[in-house]
Amino acid sequence: MDCIFCKILENEIPSYKIYEDDDVLAFLDITQGTKGHTLIIPKKHVKNVYELDEDTAVKVFGVVPKIAKALKSTFNPIGLNIVNNNDKPLQSVFHFHIHLIPRYENDGMVLSTLNNYGKFNDDHFNSLVDLIKKEL
Ligand code: AMP
Ligand code: ZN
């Protein structure tokens, strides 16, 4: 399979591994957006969150606190973002991965959510709830 993260798992290409168990691997992101930027992946190849089964999700997300705490103790960041991109154009590697991004003063990292607080009424919120619940 032509998947760069599967190749990392098979040691076909090098990586900077920081944690490994039977189901999960954590390694440094090659871009090091901030110091300690880490990726956590399941060993099972799934493209993204839409292909992720619950058992694999439990395993991969289960490792997140351990790595987050290690990054905090190691680098003493002011905070930490957890990011997961799904589908183009957000996603560039199509093997599910969770980014752990330690944050530092003036690190230049831009990560924001929009704030539309107060723009929508009760009916709008309830219609969204109804639509989403139909798909669960
Ligand atoms: P995304 O945009 O969420 O799909 O992010 C994919 C991430 O994989 C990017 O942050 C890349 O820097 C990272 N990446 C790509 N190739 C490698 C590699 N060989 N080793 C470590 N990280 C990689
Ligand atoms: Zn893969």
For 2, the 3-state DSSP assignment is coil
Tell how far the Cα of 109 is from the centroid of ligand 2, in angstroms.
27
Check residue 109 and give its pLDDT: 93
Phi/psi for 5 (5° steps) reads -75, -35
Predicted local distance difference test score (pLDDT) of residue 2: 93
Q: What is the pLDDT of residue 1?
A: 74
Pocket of ligand 1 (CB under 6 A): 4, 15, 29-31, 39, 85, 91-93
**Residue spans of the chain under pLDDT 70:** none
What's the whole-model pTM score? 0.96
What would the two tokens of residue 18 be?
């920081």
pLDDT of residue 19: 98
In single-letter form, the type of residue at position 111 comes to L
Q: Among 37, 45, 95, 97, which one carries the catalytic annotation?
A: 97
pLDDT value of position 112: 85
Q: Round to whole Å and give the CA distance between 54 and 56.
A: 6
Give pLDDT, residue 102: 98
Examine residue 42 and say whether the peptide bond preceding it is cis (omega within 30 degrees of 0). Answer: no
pLDDT of 119? 96
Other Cβ atoms less than 10 A from the Cβ of 77: the count is 19
